[in-house]
Amino acid sequence: MSDRSRPSRRRSRRVVIASLTAVLAGGAAAGAAWGTTTAAHASSGLRTCTVSDLYVSMGRKEGAAGSLYWPIRFTNTSTARCTLRGYPGVSVLDTAHRGIGPSAARTGEPHSTVTLAPAHSVSAVIRTTNGPIGGPCLTTGTYLRVYPPASRTPVLVPAQWTICSHTFQVGPVTAEGTI
């Protein structure tokens, strides 16, 4: 198994990120947004975030109106600002890293460039139905293979996810993390 196909091993950085976040929250940066979204940043010369800049993790699953939503968080672990724009690629894998069902379809929502300051996070939300509502559920996966926007390098994130009713969508990366 190559290093790039292993689950993200940046868990030790969580402590650093949490500490840095606590310091920022108590200082002059209190109340600042975790990520900013503007078209002007695209021309500011900031570089695109790479897999080595990011810790990819899962937020909290939530259900509403027959759907199940789960944010994928992208946290900047580098010491410099970088940008993300668009949709991540997402697919469900079993324990042997084989695909289960189709990759997530894009929602088609408009998107803009999101600037990620060090130790800050943005999200993209995945969605399926909350059970077999018009179609069967597939086998529950063990990992999500996530390609950050503009990246050809995936990150494997441990995540139990079941695609149901032929529905698997992903929204764009946003500071709000909505779909």
The strand pairing partners of 85, in sequence order, are 113
CA distance 151 to 133: 34
**Which pLDDT score, from 0 to 100, does residue 149 have?**
97
pLDDT digits (tens, 9 = 90+) for 87-124: 999 999 999 999 999 999 999 999 999 999 999 999 99
Banded pLDDT at 46 (limits 50, 70, 90): very high
The pLDDT of residue 176 is above 80: no
**Which pLDDT score, from 0 to 100, does residue 163 have?**
97
CB 98 within 8 A of CB 69: no
**Which pLDDT score, from 0 to 100, does residue 44 have?**
61
The pLDDT of residue 19 is above 50: no
Please compute the mean of the pLDDT values over residues 62-89 and round it to a whole number.
96
Instruction: Round the average pLDDT of the chain to a whole number and report it.
Output: 81
CA distance 166 to 162: 11
When comparing pLDDT for 43 and 76, which is higher? 76
Residue 114 vs residues 90, 102, 104, 121: alpha-carbon distances, Å = 19, 27, 21, 10
Residue 106 vs residues 11, 37, 171: alpha-carbon distances, Å = 28, 19, 6
**Which pLDDT score, from 0 to 100, does residue 127 have?**
97
Please compute the mean of the pLDDT values over residues 16-27 and round it to a whole number.
34
Banded pLDDT at 177 (limits 50, 70, 90): low
Sequence-ordered list of residues with C-beta below 8 angstroms from that of 45, at least 6 positions apart, any chain: none
Q: Which two tokens stand for residue 147?
A: 């390609």
Sequence-ordered list of residues with C-beta below 8 angstroms from that of 64, at least 6 positions apart, any chain: none
**Which pLDDT score, from 0 to 100, does residue 101 have?**
97
**Which pLDDT score, from 0 to 100, does residue 105 have?**
98
Percent helix, strand, coil in the chain, to 5, is 15, 40, 45
Rg (CA), the chain: 16
